[in-house]
Amino acid sequence: YDIDLRIPVYSAYLYQPGDDKRPNTWMVEPQLVGSNYPKTMEKEWTLLNRFKVSFEQLSESQALLQDYKNLTGLNRGHLNPNGHHGDPFSRKATFTLTNIVPQDAKLNGGAWNNYEQQTMMRRTQGCNNTYVVVGAVPGKSYIGNGRVNKPSYLWSSACCELGTKNTKAWGVIAENNRDEVELLTLGELEETLSLLYGRESVSLFHSACPRE
């Protein structure tokens, strides 16, 4: 999590889709306020009233619900998708604002959602385990009176185990201002991210995951 930009940098998880009830309560992370606070997620109200955290302390450490109010053409986009988890505790864990980015509303409800729900299901057929790393490339614009960065790109990558030795991998990337997702090889995604992040190289998975 990037405290200055107030958006998640990346998230890694095991793909275990389920259709359990979707949570409806948004949480924040007390540990970002200070190491003396709980490491479990809490509601904003709980931190402000039970733990006596000041509003200034809380707002300095992370994005808040008010940052995402009155958005035009954007909404709260899960980086780590709620629907990729089968048990209620894991699904609840995705409903923290540290897992949220300002996402193009059409992309979030369109091509990105289609990738998360349909493409992932098709591509993981026959996989024993599928590991996912998803992330956001910071952009140049902000919401919440300049507090929360709007990513320029969203990306996701996956590597799945087909058996004891065989693996397959892929990646996708989307500009955060259009309803379009580009399917890539893992190698192509890593090369693209190295350019976008201005890094010499980006490696998302172990070398056993194919780049072609």
Distance CA 140, CA 92 (A): 30
Report yes or no on 150 lying in a domain: yes
Q: What is the CATH number of the domain that holds 91?
A: 3.40.570.10
What are the E-state strand segments in the chain? 10-14, 74-78, 100-104, 129-137, 141-143, 148-150, 153-161, 167-175, 182-184
Assign 96 to helix, strand or coil: strand
User: Which amino acid makes up residue 103?
Assistant: Q
Question: Whole-number mean pLDDT of the chain?
Answer: 96
Question: Could you give the C-alpha distances from 19 to 43, 64, 82, in angstroms and in order?
Answer: 24, 27, 9
Task: Note down the domain range covering 46.
Answer: 10-197
- The model carries a pTM of 0.95
Per the CB < 8 A criterion, the answer to whether 187 and 198 are in contact is no
Per-residue pLDDT reduced to its tens digit, 65-80:
999 999 999 999 999 9
Indicate the DSSP class of residue 35: T
* pLDDT score of 160: 97
Task: Please determine, for residue 22, whether its predicted confidence score (pLDDT) is greater than 90.
Answer: no
Distance CA 76, CA 64 (A): 11
Six token digits for residue 171: 């990646």
Structural domains in the chain (count): 1
Task: Please determine, for residue 19, whether its predicted confidence score (pLDDT) is greater than 90.
Answer: no
Distance CA 76, CA 4 (A): 18
Task: Please determine, for residue 20, whether its predicted confidence score (pLDDT) is greater than 80.
Answer: no
Six token digits for residue 110: 């369109």
CB atoms within 10 A of CB 37: 17
Report yes or no on 184 lying in a domain: yes
Question: Could you give the C-alpha distances from 207 to 50, 142, 193, in angstroms and in order?
Answer: 47, 36, 17
Calculate mean pLDDT across residues 104-114: 98
The neighbouring-strand residues paired with 170 are 158
Task: Please determine, for residue 139, whether its predicted confidence score (pLDDT) is greater than 80.
Answer: yes
Report yes or no on 209 lying in a domain: no
Report yes or no on 72 lying in a domain: yes
Per the CB < 8 A criterion, the answer to whether 85 and 94 are in contact is yes
Report yes or no on 206 lying in a domain: no
Report yes or no on 118 lying in a domain: yes
Report yes or no on 177 lying in a domain: yes
Report yes or no on 88 lying in a domain: yes
* pLDDT score of 21: 81
Per the CB < 8 A criterion, the answer to whether 44 and 65 are in contact is yes
